[in-house]
Chain A
Amino acid sequence: MQREAAAIRAHWLGRALSTLPADHPAAEAAISDLYRLIGLSPPRFHWVASPLAALETVPPGMRASESVGRVDDWPLPARFATCQNRLYGSIDAKVRPAQLPIDRLIRREVLFSLQGSVSRCLLPPVRRAHSWGFRRSRSPKWYDVLNVSQTAYRAALRDVAGVVLDDEQRRQFDLWTAVAASCHWWWPGEHVCVVSERPVALHTEVAENNGEVRLHHSTAPAVRYADGWAEYAWHGTTVPSWAIDQPTVQRIADEVNVEVRRCAIERLGWEAYIEQAGLWLVGAAPDPGNPGCELRLYDLPEGPRVLLAVNGSVERDGHRRRYGLTVPGHLDDPLAAAGWTYGLSGEQYSLLLRRT
């Protein structure tokens, strides 16, 4: 059961994070049918290379005030949302009490996992293009309607839990499936529908046990569109391009965002950063349980301190990796600092017998 759910998740994640060119005829056909479903004639289509291009270009027939940045104020998204809610609600109503344990599994493995992956991977470029201000501010509801997690969840109810769709449900469901499989984000105006091409590159890593992924690339943009619009990310944190391309001690010092600072330091490497920034050594001590290796505690320009430690096991190339851990600024003993990272006192940590 879990394996089936994971297979469905992988299939839909692949669709959502695809970097293949959009299938214009299929997307236009599916979107046209969705327009008909809410009682409208099909729109004209305006294809753009990226969400940024969607924001910057106003196609003929669209007023300048109808910027895609204000998509939630448009009349159609709410109507499509209602139409989708009604369909999915009617499918959910078919889940019988005996199927509830499977339903829970599908929610965890498919719905929540994909919800997380899509918002962590596909929303950041849109968010920056549209300057939605604070990082964690709510994105427009329209992006929830287009998040494939909702559709994938019903596909799993059908394929794993055995929920049977009637003809009308199947017809409508196939339209949402078809549009998700053929293009990137789209913005439905009354006469013109703006549709974005997919990114040409997208790099992720596994972030959670439920298969959720996040953006990451250590040397290049994590997301890149054909028109050059790009987003950089370090283990899921979106960062300015310099943090990946050219992290320097000076730029790190000038950065106000502590998360961006940490990412840029990790990209540079703690050891290199400590050396280049000339950080002051507060103290050093042998690492108990890790013979021949030292714990070194350094002062950072402000706030916390950093403990430079050596891995207990060798890397593939035979070296032992050094890594930095930030610790509270009041700690001045390397053993106490190492202990703190595990909720231990310096004395307790000094009892460490073995590190691997």
Chain B
Amino acid sequence: MTMTLDSLSLRTGLSVLDHLDRSVRIPVVDGLQAQGDLIVIPLPVVAEDVRLWDEPRWQDVPPEGVELLRGAAGGHPHTLVAEPGSCRWSTRVRDAHGLAIGVFAASAPVYLLHPEHGGSGCAPGTYVVRRQRERDGLRARLVAD
């Protein structure tokens, strides 16, 4: 099924800013995708660094979606959206870099939606969601756009 920002927005009740082109099909791909300060990585690519806990306690992604992360000023959220029953999600994840906020496993295309960055479509598979960091003195700090 072809998904556009409009149809995704209609289905979830989540809004996107009106200057984005809402009628274009959202590409569904099976590789790495960045959405602002968030990146989606197929789990096998980072399997050495990222592990799920022994009991991941998967949760089904509800019809209204899962808010993965909310931006700093103004607080725009990145939301994971899926057809009911097609995606589960766990935050019980260890990451050698400390950047993973969770892992999701999709059996059908799922979408990440953000009011400013639009939509990213992920083909069936298991993915890690990571935040972005930058150097701050001798430490690293997380980026919030």
Bound pair (A, B): yes
Which A residues contact B (CB, under 8 angstroms)?
Answer: 205-207, 209, 216, 235, 258-259, 262, 289, 303-304, 311-316, 318, 323, 325-328, 341-344, 348-349, 351-356
B27 to chain A: closest residue by CB: A354
Q: Say whether B95 contacts A343, CB under 8 Å.
A: yes
Which residues of chain A have C-beta atoms less than 8 A from B130's C-beta?
Answer: 342-343
Cα separation A352 to B39 with both chains bound (whole Å): 9
How far, in angstroms, from A209 to B144 measured CA to CA in the complex?
A: 12
What's the Cα separation between A303 and B137 when bound, in Å? 8
Asked if B93 CB lies within 8 Å of chain A CBs, one says no
Task: From A258, A341, A354, give the contact of B133 (CB < 8 A).
Answer: A341
What's the nearest-Cβ distance from chain B to residue A308, in Å?
Answer: 12
B46 contacts A206, C-beta separation under 8 Å: no
Supposing A304-B135, A327-B134 touch, asked if A353 and B73 sit within 8 A by C-beta, the answer is no
List the count of A-B residue pairs having beta carbons below 8 Å apart. Answer: 107
B134 engages A325 (CB within 8 Å): yes
Chain B residues with Cβ under 8 A from A311's Cβ?
36
Decide if B135 touches A289 in the complex (CB within 8 Å).
Answer: no
Q: How far is the CA of A12 from the CA of B132 in the complex (A)?
A: 34
- CB contacts (< 8 Å) of B70 on chain A: these are 209
Task: Please tell me which one of the listed residues A206, A316, A328 contacts residue B72 in the complex, with CB atoms under 8 A apart.
Answer: A206
> B33 to A258, Cβ gap below 8 A?
no
Q: Which residues of A contact B20 (CB under 8 A)?
A: 313-314
Tell yes or no: B84 within 8 A of A by CB: no
Q: Is A289 touching B73 in the complex (CB atoms < 8 A)? A: no
Smallest beta-carbon distance B46→chain A, Å: 7
Docked-complex contact B17 and A316, CB < 8 angstroms: yes
Closest residue of A by beta carbon distance from B132: A341
How far is the CB of A135 from the nearest CB of chain B, in Å?
14
Question: Using Cβ atoms and an 8 Å threshold, which residues of chain A touch B17?
Answer: 316
* B31:A351 contact, CB within 8 angstroms: yes
Measured as residues with beta carbon below 8 angstroms from the partner, the interface class of chain B is 35 or more
- Give 22 pairs: A residue, B residue, CB < 8 Å, sorted on A: A206-B73, A206-B74, A289-B32, A312-B117, A313-B20, A323-B145, A325-B132, A328-B135, A341-B132, A341-B133, A342-B39, A342-B99, A343-B95, A343-B97, A343-B98, A351-B31, A352-B39, A353-B29, A356-B34, A356-B36, A356-B114, A356-B117
Q: How far is the CB of A225 from chain B (nearest CB, A)?
A: 24
Q: Which residue of A lies closest to B114 (CB)?
A: A356
Task: Please give, as numbers and ranges, the residues of chain B lying within 8 Å of A356 by CB-CB distance.
Answer: 33-36, 114, 117-120
Instruction: State whether A353 touches B134 (Cβ < 8 A).
Output: no
Of the candidates A262, A323, A343, which one forms a contact with B136 in the assembled complex, judged by CB atoms under 8 Å apart?
Answer: A262
CB distance from B112 to the nearest CB of A (A): 9
Interface string of B74-108 (1 = CB under 8 A from A): 11000000000000000000011111000000000
- A341-B143, A354-B27, A356-B120 known; A289 and B33 CB under 8 Å? yes
Known: A326-B134, A344-B41, A344-B46. 5 other contacts (CB 8 A): A206-B75, A313-B116, A313-B118, A342-B130, A353-B31
- Are B45 and A351 interface neighbours, CB within 8 A? yes
Would A343 and B27 be within 8 Å (CB), given that A206-B72, A326-B134, A327-B135 are in contact?
no
Q: Is there contact, CB below 8 Å, between B32 and A343? A: no
In angstroms, Cα B34 to Cα A216, docked, is 28
CA distance A333 to B130 in the complex (A): 21
With a CB–CB cut-off of 8 A, which chain B residues contact A343? 46, 49, 95-99, 130, 133
**Among candidates A303, A315, A354, residue contacting B120 with C-beta atoms closer than 8 Å:** A354
Known contacts A289-B33, A313-B118; is-contact A326 B46 (Cβ 8 Å): no
Q: Mark B55-85, 1 if CB is under 8 A from A, else 0.
A: 0000000000000001011110000000000
User: In the complex, A354 Cα to B40 Cα: how many Å?
Assistant: 10
Q: Tell me, rounded to whole Å, the shortest Cβ–Cβ distance linking A245 to chain B.
A: 21
Q: Identify the closest chain B residue to A352 (Cβ).
A: B32
Contacts of A353 in B (CB 8 A): 29, 31-33
4 nearest CB pairs, A to B? A343-B97, A326-B135, A353-B31, A304-B135
List A contacts of B133 (CB < 8 A). 341-343
Alpha-carbon distance A235/B71, docked complex (angstroms): 13
